[in-house]
Amino acid sequence: MTKFIFITGGVVSSLGKGISAASIGALLKMHGFHVSLLKIDPYLNVDPGTMSPFQHGEVFVTDDGAETDLDLGHYERFTGETMGRLNNITTGQIYYSVISKERRGDYLGSTVQVIPHITDEIKGSILRLADQDTYDVIICEIGGTVGDIESQPFLEAIRQFPYEVGREHCLFIHLTLIPYLAAAGELKTKPSQHSVRALREIGIQPDILMCRTEHPVSEGNRQKIALFCNVSPNMVFEARDVDDIYKIPLQFSEQGVDRAIIKKLGLDRRAPAVDAWRALVDRITSIHEDLTIGVVGKYIELQDAYKSIYEALRHGAIGNDVHLKIQRIDSETITPETADERLAGLAGILIPGGFGQRGIEGKILAAQFARTRKIPFFGICLGMQVALIEFARNVCGLDGAHSREFNEETPHPVVDLLATQKTITNMGGTMRLGAYTCRLQEGTKAAAAYGAPQVSERHRHRYEVNNKYRPLFEEQGLVLAGTSLDNRLVEMLELPDHPWFIGCQFHPEFKSRPLSPHPLFQGFIGAAKVHARAAQAAAQLGKAEK
Ligand code: GLN
């Protein structure tokens, strides 16, 4: 029988519910349980695929081609499990389905209402995930904050849920904030009392409280929170701020969060195997060498726009025993005049995926800088396309070469719309999405990094390398290191006379994990480390000579 853990959030948003859910998932996995996670997003979009990064942060792509919430990235990274379409529900999907059923006549004779039709649909979606595999536990994270109008139908659905499966199979965890009032020098429990009261008004009594806090919660405060929130004192845990998200599973485990969940749900006891995770944290703490990577993008001020890129870079850094420093560089500030200064001193340059014309010329200049100065370069999706445009213009002499995405009239459309995209008019969920196999050319850096002749990677794009120019690119020394199985799509490119210059049309960042860094990120950071050390040695030599 699958057990269900529901995680709600109180007081404010951005409490780290996703990472808390992922950390609990990681711990249960370490105890040997088969776990999956589900994110519920209360917005009306069917998926985040059409939203701007300003609205939503990164869109996380799954193997099965779903465009999902970035919390699924945390779920995959922390648990090592693969998520898919069924692991993210939105209000948009729920209403879409209910309205389609209504039009089909499935509810013939009835008035279609939020309760029971919408709530039934929500419960059905949770159960659909449970039916997919023999999971021991499904962790379901409700987006938003208790009290939001948008999340009410979801909270009502999870209130009803225990009647579907039995209360003993359900556990409610409420993540709340215990703010610190500096003027009073005190932690304040009142906001949490109110958010739990709001939950209880709906009919949900949390079993466990996780208290997000900057300072330790005293025993007195724990007792007080327990009393006012109607929770046992030993079910009140601390989620104290940490300097590294990968420390959170151990932080939870040290307090016994995992044991409390296991006991409450009546799961059979299994000895936890936290060794690998502890080794990871020990490794992180023992690192003393810094490495600066420049990420050249448009959304540098946003924490979440390139979430998986930043995480994958960290994984590569941990794998190379360096402490990653990311310099976020706004591509709009890179011009021929500023490039040298903006890009100076970087150990490596990464250009992530993206859409739209803004900042594109700055990215092209960054690719040129990396190519000509022999700085390790990693171009992902748009980043690869940009590197190709630069190569076409400056090495192949194709003046005005561009992608048709940015210039319909370019004389040299070296990047063009995928043939399969030409008849598409709807914007939602219509890109080339999800996992496809890429065949790697023997003897390339890409093949060496992967150590395999074929790999599966996730995609999210409408444009591709224009095949017409492939012979010219190859003549000029570009290696098309990876292609689709039918050889009709270029998936990877690299420069052989460069220490590490690789572009890929897919998004390897989605498959990197802290416990197993992605080979391309591992390779890129490895090359950047070599470059940084050589640059440092050269600088020291220069100083000595003076
Ligand atoms: N805009 C480009 C395309 O659609 C690249 C997409 C991306 O970087 N994810 O092909």
pTM for the model: 0.95
What's the confidence (pLDDT) of residue 53? 85
Q: Is 363 in the pocket of ligand 1 (CB under 6 A)?
A: no
Out of 163-177, 184-198, 456-470, least confident range: 184-198
How many angstroms does the Cα of residue 399 sit away from the middle of ligand 1? 22
Segment 454-481 mean pLDDT:
97
Dihedral sign (CA 70, 71, 77, 83):
negative
The residue nearest atom 8 of ligand 1, judged by CA position, is: 353
pLDDT in tens, 201-217: 999 999 999 999 999 99
Segment 139-150 mean pLDDT:
94
How many angstroms does the Cα of residue 353 sit away from the middle of ligand 1? 6
CA distances from 28 to 87, 150, 253, 490 (A): 18, 30, 10, 40
Question: Residue 56's pLDDT band (boundaries 50, 70, 90)?
Answer: confident
Amino acid at 18: G
Q: What CATH superfamily classification does 3-280 receive? A: P-loop containing nucleotide triphosphate hydrolases (3.40.50.300)
Q: Do domains 3-280 and 289-534 have the same CATH topology?
A: yes
What's the confidence (pLDDT) of residue 272? 77
How many angstroms does the Cα of residue 381 sit away from the middle of ligand 1? 6
CB atoms under 10 Å from CB of 54, counted, come to 10
Question: Residue 422's pLDDT band (boundaries 50, 70, 90)?
Answer: confident
Q: Is 462 in the pocket of ligand 1 (CB under 6 A)?
A: yes
How many angstroms does the Cα of residue 283 sit away from the middle of ligand 1? 35
Segment 350-361 mean pLDDT:
94
Segment 413-437 mean pLDDT:
91
Q: Is 461 in the pocket of ligand 1 (CB under 6 A)?
A: yes
* Ramachandran class of 176: left when φ > 0, alpha when ψ lies in -120 to 50, beta otherwise: beta
Show me where the domains of the chain are located. Answer: 3-280, 289-534
Q: What positions carry a catalytic annotation?
A: 381, 507, 509
Greatest Cα-to-Cα distance within the chain, rounded to the nearest angstrom:
90
pLDDT of residue 546 exceeding 80: no
Q: What is the DSSP letter of 444?
A: S
Q: Is 381 in the pocket of ligand 1 (CB under 6 A)?
A: yes
pLDDT of residue 333 exceeding 90: yes
Q: Is 460 in the pocket of ligand 1 (CB under 6 A)?
A: yes
Contact at 8 Å (CB) between 399 and 411?
Answer: yes
pLDDT in tens, 97-119: 999 999 999 999 999 999 999 99
- Residue for token digits 């390790």? 376
Alpha helices in 240-324, H assignment, sequence order:
248-255, 257-265, 275-285, 307-319
Question: Residue 322's pLDDT band (boundaries 50, 70, 90)?
Answer: very high
Residue length of the chain: 546
What's the confidence (pLDDT) of residue 14? 82
Ligand 1 mutation pick, 61, 360, 382, 458, max ligand atoms within 8 A of CB: 382
How many angstroms does the Cα of residue 476 sit away from the middle of ligand 1? 25
Question: Residue 361's pLDDT band (boundaries 50, 70, 90)?
Answer: very high
Segment 443-461 mean pLDDT:
97
Q: Residue 158 belongs to what H/E stretch? A: helix 152-165
- Domain 289-534 part of CATH 3.40.50.880: yes
Amino acid at 235: M
All residues at 6 or more sequence positions from 98 whose CB lies less than 8 Å from its CB, including other chains = 112, 117, 118, 121
Amino acid at 325: K
User: Residue 229 and residue 232: Cα distance in Å, rounded?
Assistant: 9
Question: Residue 55's pLDDT band (boundaries 50, 70, 90)?
Answer: confident
The string of DSSP letters for 65-89 reads --EE-THHHHHHHHH-PPP-GGGEE
Q: First-to-last CA distance in the chain?
A: 74
What's the confidence (pLDDT) of residue 210? 96
Q: Find out whether the peptide bond into 116 is cis, omega within 30 degrees of 0.
A: yes
pLDDT of residue 381 exceeding 90: yes
CA distances from 399 to 117, 351, 356, 392, 413 (A): 59, 22, 21, 8, 11
- Which of 87, 187, 183, 171 lies closest to 129, judged by CA? 87
pLDDT of residue 324 exceeding 90: yes
pLDDT in tens, 473-524: 999 999 999 999 999 999 999 999 999 999 999 999 999 999 999 999 999 9
pLDDT of residue 147 exceeding 80: yes
Question: Residue 174's pLDDT band (boundaries 50, 70, 90)?
Answer: very high
What's the confidence (pLDDT) of residue 187? 87
Question: Residue 173's pLDDT band (boundaries 50, 70, 90)?
Answer: very high
Segment 269-281 mean pLDDT:
85
Ligand 1 mutation pick, 416, 461, 490, 491, max ligand atoms within 8 A of CB: 461
The residue nearest atom 5 of ligand 1, judged by CA position, is: 382
